[in-house]
Structures are given as structure tokens and as C-alpha cells.
Amino acid sequence: MILLFIFLLCSPAQAQDYGVHGAIFEIEERDLLKDMLQKLKNLEKEGTLKIHAEELEKRVLHLRPVSGMTKATKKREFFYDPSITVSSDIRDHRGTLMHKKGTKLNPLKYISLKQPLVFIDGEDAKQVKWARRQKSKIILLSGNPFKLMKDCPVYFDQFGTLTKKLAIKHVPSIVTQEGLKLKIIEIPPSECGENSHD
């Protein structure tokens, strides 16, 4: 009896059509890929595809410059303290308290700025040339990053996030770490000679 029960349990299952139970509806969502291809075909028929492609290329190759930036006319040096004060207790996944509310944390205590950050106007050839000599991360505030990255890696301060955070108003500027603070120097382009800031 037990053998028969085990045999029935282990016997291969047999597929069977149980029929349709309940209402079935057609999928009404449009195919996104087909929709996009149709829009491209329509733009091509209208003769506007090339115009749209050129506009897209222009937007990508010439990113919107960070507003409010001007060339430095005098040297200005200041510091930025990246410390934050914890607004509530921070616990790990087990509930162990890592940082108590009110604790002041400075990320530079745990990680350091490996190389200087140089903020420049990518449309100013003198600033570009100077920045390339700095052995730093070049951050553009205007200009064509794709054209400049052929020679060395460059970054773009999208929406001016970094310049706002660091209170940079003029370019070129160089950011280095000094202890637990960031030192920011705005340098007039006239001082961006061969031996300016190492």
C-alpha cells in the first residue's frame, strides 16, 4: 500500500487542458518600440527628422553653461567645510546605533580628494590649456565636453550643482583638500601661466 502511494506521488504529471475560466481580454497597451518607430517614420515623411536629429546633437554637444559664472579678475582663496550634522539617529541593518542625532560628520575623515578639481570655461582655450597641465579632474562649466575629452577625461557640472555647493563664482578655480576642509582658489586667467598652482 505504501509502495503504491509512493509510486503515485512520484509518477510523472500529465498535462491537461482545463479550459477557459473567466473572461479574457486583449492587451490594449501600445507597443512602445512600434510607437517610437512609427513616430520616426512620420518625422522622416514630413522631412523634419534631420532637423530633430541636428537639434538633439546640438543639445548634447553644447550643454547649457552653468549660469552666473564669470572669469576671475582677482585671486580669491576660501575654504569649504563638508561636515554635516546628523538630523536623526542612524542605525545599521541590525538596528545598531552608528551615529547619534546631532553628531557632526565630515566625509573627508573617511575618504580623501585624490586629485585636485579644476573648474574652467571650456570655451576659453587658455583655461583649457592651463587645466590640462594641472594633473587634475577637469570640470567644465561651459563648452563641448565631447570635443575636449578626446585628449583627456573631462566632466561637466550639470546644473551647477558643484559650483553652488562649493560657492564658486569665478573661473578658473582649483579645489584641493587641506586637512578636513576643501581649499578653493579662484585664479584670474592672466595668472594661469606655466608655473601657476601645482
Q: CA 113 to CA 119: how far, in whole Å?
A: 15
Contacts of residue 129, Cβ cutoff 8 Å, sequence gap at least 6: none
What is the DSSP track for 95-159? Answer: --EEE-TT-EE-GGGT----S-EEEEETT-HHHHHHHHHT-SEEEEEES-HHHHTTTS-EEE-GG
Q: CA 143 to CA 130: how far, in whole Å?
A: 15
- Going by pLDDT thresholds of 50, 70 and 90, the confidence category of residue 193 is low
Residue spans of the domains in the chain: they are: 70-81+112-191
Dig out the grid coordinates for 28 from the structure.
490594449
Dig out the grid coordinates for 103 from the structure.
553628531
Query: pLDDT tens digits for 30-86?
Result: 888 888 888 888 888 888 888 888 887 777 777 777 888 889 999 999 999 999 999
pTM to 2 decimals? 0.67
Query: pLDDT tens digits for 160-188?
Result: 999 999 999 999 999 999 999 999 999 99
As a whole number, the mean pLDDT across the chain is 85
Q: What is the predicted pLDDT for the residue at 82?
A: 96
